[in-house]
């Protein structure tokens, strides 16, 4: 499975950040809510949503990648919404 996540161009929508992913040549939407971002343990910088997103991009990228991999056949209508549980270590 070929997955490319674009964290450079996040889009703020209400209390959510959306960012695109390319999965096997198909573009899908990934999203993370403010409440999840605020729980990721930011220690520096501003606390607006875009700053929180950028500071936590490595964690967000890894969680989104794993969640996309678990969906066997994502299509152009797929939407990946990251939840707090996606960041909890097992």
Q: What is the pTM (predicted TM-score) of this model?
A: 0.86
For the domain that residue 53 is a member of, what is the CATH number? Answer: 3.30.160.140
For residue 9, tell me if it sits in a domain.
yes
For residue 12, tell me if it sits in a domain.
yes
For residue 24, tell me if it sits in a domain.
yes
Question: Of the candidates 42, 41, 51, 38, which has an alpha carbon nearest to the alpha carbon of residue 10?
Answer: 51
Range of the domain at 64: 3-84
Q: Tens digit of pLDDT per residue, the chain (90 long)?
A: 899 999 888 999 888 999 999 998 889 999 999 889 888 866 555 567 888 898 899 999 999 999 998 876 666 677 899 999 999 874
Q: How many CB atoms lie within 10 A of CB 1?
A: 11
For residue 89, tell me if it sits in a domain.
no
Overall number of domains in the chain: 1
For residue 90, tell me if it sits in a domain.
no
């Amino acid at each position: 499975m070929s997955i490319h996540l674009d964290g450079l161009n996040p889009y703020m929508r209400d209390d959510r950040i959306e960012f695109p992913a390319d999965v096997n040549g198909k573009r899908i939407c990934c999203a993370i809510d403010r409440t999840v971002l605020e729980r990721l343990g930011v220690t520096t910088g501003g606390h607006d949503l875009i700053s929180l997103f950028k500071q936590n991009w490595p964690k967000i990228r890894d969680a989104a990648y794993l969640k996309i991999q678990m969906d066997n056949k994502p299509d152009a209508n797929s939407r990946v919404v990251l939840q707090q549980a996606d960041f909890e270590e097992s």
